[in-house]
Amino acid sequence: MKIVDMHCDTILKIYDDGGSLLENDFNIDLKKMLAGDYLLQNFAMFVDLKDSLDPLTKAQRLIDLYYREIDKYKDLIRPVFSYDDIISNYDKGIMSAMLTLEEGAVVNNDLAILRNYYRLGVRMITLTWNYPNGIGYPNLAGTKEYQDLYRINDHDGLTDFGIEYIKEMERLGIIIDVSHLGDAGFYDVLKYTTKPFVASHSNARSVCGVARNMSDDMIRQLAKRNGVMGINFCGDFLRPSSSGGARSCIEDMVKHILYIKDLVGIDYIGLGSDFDGISQNLEIKDASMMPLLEKALLEAGLTVEEVEKVFYKNVLRLYKEVLR
């Protein structure tokens, strides 16, 4: 079954540790993607604002690495800038790669730089990571202990610049990603935009209560906007534990998917593995093992059509609507 995954940190992993996108010891490489029957992978350029390197420079270096790796293997994968590009690659039997940013602050508070990222091919931006950043405020700022993961920020929303930022993203055709963003910021995105948006790698807070997951009301509002949330494979976001370090298990992924389906329907669930950015205590160890989740969902009672929606159809629907 085809797969669209809205989030991974593989490019940063290659940047930090070396290796090739074709074949490596990480969760994602092209050979594993082929074995898993991937249609499209979003590759996030993750920048930690506390790194010593200037964030804008770091983002540019990651984008350069992304294109250099993709260009080496054009017979296997090609970058996409529109929905039509995805379909064109599929018709040719070629996988697709979408360039995304995980940390909206790499624009240095300048919308001209945001527009240049669009010209470079960025088609989705996670507004914040785990630091306040001039755009808005996350839920996990200042996390030092496991219990801090449960501290919800329901009062600090988007800044004035953040509101301008998301409006320009929407005008350009860059998908807004609210994963990591605090609850108040989520509701600001709802207030100041009109198009569907995503939570690219977030789960259901009612199943696992960490702040990085979404409340029932947030999920309902995302669904009303025709958005999609991607199931995150991080064990600590899948199941509660007393001290963290939970194993990532397929049965817990199924619980989240079934809960969200019961809450709002199957049409708003996708995949956002966070591969190569999470703990490696994983039952699904890499991209080649994704058929195990398909099997588990079918055994849990989902139809083939419903599993297809989770695996790729729901995200493609949103991409068709938002991407130019």
DSSP string, 240-271: --SSS---B-HHHHHHHHHHHHHHH-GGGEEE
For 116, the 3-state DSSP assignment is: helix
Of 303, 321, 320, 319, nearest to 1 by C-alpha is 303
Six-digit token string for 251: 């049965």
Read off the pTM. Answer: 0.97
From CA 234, how far away is CA 212, in angstroms rounded? 11
- Per-residue pLDDT, 11: 98
Q: What is the pLDDT of residues 86-115, one digit of tens each?
A: 999 999 999 999 999 999 999 999 999 999
Q: Could you tell me what percent of the chain has a pLDDT over 70?
A: 98
Q: What is the pLDDT of residues 160-200, one digit of tens each?
A: 999 999 999 999 999 999 999 999 999 999 999 999 999 99
**Confidence check: pLDDT of 147 > 80:** no
- Residues 251-261: what's their mean pLDDT? 98
Q: What is the pLDDT of residues 37-95, one digit of tens each?
A: 999 999 999 999 988 789 999 999 999 999 999 999 999 999 999 999 999 999 999 99
Q: What is the pLDDT of residues 277-287, one digit of tens each?
A: 999 999 999 99
With bands split at pLDDT 50, 70 and 90, how would you rate the model's confidence at 33?
very high
Contact, 131 vs 159, CB < 8 A?
A: no
Six-digit token string for 153: 């920020």
How high is the mean pLDDT of the chain? 96
DSSP letter assigned to residue 141: T
- Per-residue pLDDT, 153: 86
- Per-residue pLDDT, 141: 66
- Per-residue pLDDT, 115: 98
The residues spanned by each domain of the chain are: 3-322
From CA 231, how far away is CA 169, in angstroms rounded? 24
Degrees to nearest 5, angle at CA 147 with 247 and 145: 90
Per-residue burial over 143-157, b if 16 or more Cβ lie within 10 Å, else e, is: beeeeebbebbeebb
As a CATH number, domain 3-322 is 3.20.20.140
